[in-house]
Amino acid sequence: MLLAYIVQFFLKKTKRLKLIEIVQLLREVTNVEMDLRFEAAAANELKENTKKDVGFKVPKIYWNQTSKKVLCLDKIDGISIREIENLKSLNIDTKKIAQNIIQHFLRHAVRDGFFHADMHQGNLFISKNGDIIPVDFGIMGRLDKNNRKYLAEILYGFIKRDYKKVAEIHFIAGLVPKETSKEDFAQALRSIGEPIFGQSAKNISGGKLLAQLFEVTEKFNMETQIQLLLLQKTMVVVEGVSRKLDPDTNIWNVSRPILENWLKEVKDPVNKVNEFVNETSEILKKLPNFPVMMDRANDIMTLIAEGKFNPNNLSYRNLREEELKLELIRNKILGGVLVLVIFVLLVLK
């Protein structure tokens, strides 16, 4: 955290990378990993979400035997995904497994907004009938509904090579500063997408796309999206695992049906009506409390105007306290360096 603060303080260009917020995210993830009840809850949620997904089996959690320091789940009867020759000896189609890993990951991300964010080779096993069995649920990723839709639209836009659409989604999502030229941004996206699609399937890489997108973010002064970091990292890892199983995996062709199906569901008129009904129902439930809410809002606005109320949430306050501590440490370090320099100058004299 101190290093992140020092870098961000002295190199103003790095402010858009939100280094302090990233370290804060890592701290929160680590705290969750230290309590195995949270990991059990994550595994249980993933199991519920994926119980109808053919070819993906999450181990059952045994709550009576699970505690803060003990995680009890089904024993895995499978082969590590890194043992490719063993998988082939059992006539397991490794090419199909490579496609399934990518598709399951994307399905969980865009459909459920909840995905396994640590899908490296050590955490994936294959059963004798070809099911993918994940373990280690300490790091999980979440995306809200809007981010899921933006993500699907952006990836699908790249697949369709519709760079104007991809640029438009970036602006709608607030990922790009408003003063940026939409045409210039679309041109920059085209400079990324076209070279990738011009290559053979073996060289078409989501990892390369993300790396080049990262370069574009600097040019257009785009801020790091903390909520997408785990997804970006996992996407690169999942692609790497798939390539080990099948070097010719075309990540775009494999991804396309998942993104198409989900976007069709989102835009389906019946689903839109259901969503509208649900939202209207929630609003109607709150109508009886509306006068009280208005009174409270009026009171809060009065306190804000008088400077007696701090609207910052708890998470922000904690982060601000952390920054103040870092400022104090930085000042002490700078003071110590200054004293050391003075001392050296005196000695040299």
Matching residue, tokens 């992140």: 4
Query: Which residues face 30 on adjacent strands?
Result: none
Q: What is the DSSP string of 10-44?
A: H-GGGGGG-HHHHHHHHHHHHHHHT-HHHHHHHHH
Residue 134 per-residue DSSP state: E
Task: Spot the catalytic one: 77, 93, 112, 118.
Answer: 118
Tokens 């008088």 found at: 306
CA angle 338, 340, 346 (to 5 degrees): 105
Is 165 within 8 Å of 190 (Cβ atoms)?
no
Q: What is the DSSP string of 239-289?
A: HHHHHHH-TT--HHHHHHHHHHHHHHHHH-HHHHHHHHHHHHHHHHHHGGG
Q: How many CB atoms lie within 10 A of CB 58?
A: 24
Let me know if 118 is a catalytic residue.
yes
Q: Which tokens belong to 329?
A: 């440490």
Q: Which of the residues are catalytic?
A: 118
